[in-house]
Chains A and B, each alone.
Chain A
Amino acid sequence: MLIEQSAYTNRWRRVSPAAKGTFSLCGMIAAYAAAAPTTACGVAAILCAVTVLGAGIPPVRYLRVAAPALLFLAVSVLSLAVSLKIGATAGDLSLHLARTELERVAHVCGRSLGGLAALLFLALTTPLSDIISLLRRCKLPDTLLDLMTLCYRTLFVLSETVHETITAQSARMGHATMTRSLRSLGGMIANLSVQVWQRSQALHLAALARNNDGALRFLEPDYPDSPRAISLAVISGLALIIMAVSLP
C-alpha cells in the first residue's frame, strides 16, 4: 500500500499525531469555509505543498494515491454540469449543459480538492496505528478500537495470503479466462473465510495465554516536543481557516 509506505517513511514520521490530526482537521474546515472556488483550490494547493515539500512525499506517488478520488470527482462533476430535462411523455428526455450550475460545480470541485488534500496530508504522514492511538485518546468506544486494532494487525497477513494464493492459482492457469478467474476467486475467498475462523481462534487462545480479559492495548510511542508541534499546528491551521474565510 503506497499510503502506508509513505506514512512510515516520511520526514514527519516522528511528529506528534495529534499535531498532524489538528492541522488536517483545520484544512478540512478551511476547505468547507472557503467562500470562492479559487480560495478552496488555494487551500488544496497549500495542503498539497505542505505534504510534498514539508513531509517529503514524492509528487508522483502523491498523484497516484489521489488518482481514484480524482476519477470519482471527474465523473460526478460531469453529472452535475449536465442537466436532465424530463418531458411529459415517456422517453422524452433531453440533456444540456447547465450554465447556471457551473458556479456550483466549481464550488464543489474546489471543496472536494481541499478536503482530499487535507485527508491525504494526514494519511501520507501518519501511520494508522498512530491514528488509532489518537482516537483512543478521543475516548472512542473500546470495542470499536479493538475492531480497528485487530483489523489493522491482521489485514497485512490476509493480504499476503491473498497474493500467494493468486500467484499459485495463476501458475495453474486459474486466472486465464473470466469464468476460471471467478471460480478461482470464489475458492480463494472460501478458503480465506475458513482462515478467518481459524486465525481468530488462535488469536483468542494467544490472548488468553497472556491473561487478556478485556480491551487490547499496546504501548504507545512517545513524541518529544508534542506541545510545541501541537501549538504550531493550531496556529498554522487557524491561519489557513482565517485565509479561507477572509478571501473573497
Chain B
Amino acid sequence: MHIMEGFLPVKHAIGWSIASAPFVVFGLHSINKRIKEKPEQRMLLGVAAAFTFVLSALKMPSVTGSCSHPTGTGLGAVLFGPAAMAPIGAVVLLFQAILLAHGGITTLGANIFSMAVVGPFAAAAIYRTAKTARLPFGLSIFLAASLGDLLTYVTTSAQLALAFPDPAGGFTASFVKFATVFALTQIPLAISEGFLTVIVLNALARFNPQELQEMNVVTAREVQG
C-alpha cells in the first residue's frame, strides 16, 4: 500500500523525506562496509533489489480469496539485514513509482519510512526476539513477516492520519478510519505473506542450508537440526 504522488501536503512530504534520509545514509554506509570486506556483495545487493521488485509484482492468493502483492519486507530483512533494506527499499520504491506508477516521487520519503525502515527493522527485531525466546524456526519467521507487514500498514495509516486529522475526532479518529479501510486488504495480506515466507525459508533450509548459513539466517547447529 503506497501513498500516491502528490497526496501528502508539502510539509509532510519533506518531513518524511528528512526522517527516512538517515536510515538510507546509514544503510549505504553499512553496504559500503560490506562491499569493502566482500566485494561480491555489491552484485548480491543489486540483484536482491531486483528480486524484491519482482516479488512485489507477484500476485499472491489472499486468505479472503482475492489476490494481493507481497511486500517482501520480512523476507528481505531476514535474508539481507534491516540496515541494507533501507537503500534497497528506496531503490525498489523509486522503481515502482517510475515503472508501475505505484507510489510517487514526492511521497517517496513517507513510503521509504513505512516500507523500508519500519517494516524491515520491526521484522528483524521480532525474528531476533523469537529466536532468543527459542520459538520454533517456522513460527519465528511467520511472526516476523506478518507483524512486519502489519506494522508497515499501521505506519502508513498513521502517516495519513497525521497529514489529515479528522475535524471532529482529530488524529485518533482519522487513524481509526484509515486503519479500518486498509485493514480489509492488509490483514489478510499479512497473514498470507507470513505463510508464504515460512514456505520460502523452509524450502531454503531444506534444499540450500549452506546459503542460509552464509547469510547468518540460521546457525550451523540449526542446519544440522
Q: Which residues on A are within 8 Å of B, measured CB to CB?
A: 1, 3-4, 28, 31-32, 65-66, 68-69, 72-73, 75-76, 78-80, 82-86, 98, 100-101, 104, 108, 111-116, 118-120, 122-123, 128, 131, 141, 143-144, 146-155, 157-159, 162, 178, 181-183, 185-187, 189-194, 196-197, 199-201, 203-204, 207
B53 A155 Cβ-Cβ under 8 A: yes
Least distance between B17 CB and chain A CB atoms (Å): 14
Given contacts A75-B181, A79-B181, A189-B55, contact A69 B35 (CB under 8 A): no
- The distance in angstroms between the C-alpha atoms of A144 and B46, with both chains bound, is 9
- 8 cross-chain CB contacts under 8 A: A85-B168, A85-B173, A123-B98, A147-B88, A151-B95, A162-B58, A189-B55, A197-B211
Q: Which residues on B are within 8 Å of A, measured CB to CB?
A: 1-7, 10, 24, 28, 31-32, 35, 39-40, 42-51, 53-55, 57-58, 60-61, 65, 75, 79, 87-88, 90-92, 94-95, 97-102, 104-106, 160, 164, 166-169, 172-174, 176-178, 181, 192, 195-196, 198-204, 207-208, 211
A80 B164 Cβ-Cβ under 8 A: yes
Known: A151-B50, A204-B40. 7 other contacts (CB 8 A): A68-B102, A83-B166, A84-B174, A115-B5, A182-B195, A186-B202, A196-B47
B101 A144 Cβ-Cβ under 8 A: no
Least distance between A1 CB and chain B CB atoms (Å): 6
A83 B168 Cβ-Cβ under 8 A: yes
Chain A residues, Cβ within 8 Å of B98: 3, 119, 122-123, 128, 131
B199 A190 Cβ-Cβ under 8 A: yes
- The distance in angstroms between the C-alpha atoms of A66 and B95, with both chains bound, is 16
B101 A151 Cβ-Cβ under 8 A: no
A178 B61 Cβ-Cβ under 8 A: yes
Least distance between B79 CB and chain A CB atoms (Å): 7
A200 B47 Cβ-Cβ under 8 A: yes
B7 A112 Cβ-Cβ under 8 A: yes
A76 B105 Cβ-Cβ under 8 A: no
Least distance between B1 CB and chain A CB atoms (Å): 8
B88 A108 Cβ-Cβ under 8 A: no
B106 A28 Cβ-Cβ under 8 A: yes
Of B32, B45, B101, B202, which contacts A120 at CB under 8 A?
A: B101
B5 A112 Cβ-Cβ under 8 A: yes
Given contacts A1-B100, A112-B5, A182-B61, contact A143 B211 (CB under 8 A): no
Least distance between A45 CB and chain B CB atoms (Å): 15
- The distance in angstroms between the C-alpha atoms of A178 and B63, with both chains bound, is 8
A84 B46 Cβ-Cβ under 8 A: no
B173 A146 Cβ-Cβ under 8 A: no
Of B4, B50, B203, which contacts A187 at CB under 8 A?
A: B203
- The distance in angstroms between the C-alpha atoms of A178 and B181, with both chains bound, is 24
- The distance in angstroms between the C-alpha atoms of A158 and B9, with both chains bound, is 37
Chain A residues, Cβ within 8 Å of B208: 190, 193-194
- The distance in angstroms between the C-alpha atoms of A47 and B189, with both chains bound, is 35
- The distance in angstroms between the C-alpha atoms of A87 and B79, with both chains bound, is 46
B101 A183 Cβ-Cβ under 8 A: no
Given contacts A84-B176, A147-B45, A203-B43, contact A115 B106 (CB under 8 A): yes
Chain A residues, Cβ within 8 Å of B97: 119, 123
Least distance between A133 CB and chain B CB atoms (Å): 13
Closest to B208 in A: A194
Of A73, A186, A192, which contacts B7 at CB under 8 A?
A: A73
Closest to B195 in A: A182
Given contacts A83-B167, A116-B5, A150-B49, contact A182 B99 (CB under 8 A): no
Chain B residues, Cβ within 8 Å of A159: 54, 57
Closest to A31 in B: B6
Of A80, A120, A196, which contacts B44 at CB under 8 A?
A: A196
B10 A79 Cβ-Cβ under 8 A: no
A154 B207 Cβ-Cβ under 8 A: no
B99 A86 Cβ-Cβ under 8 A: no
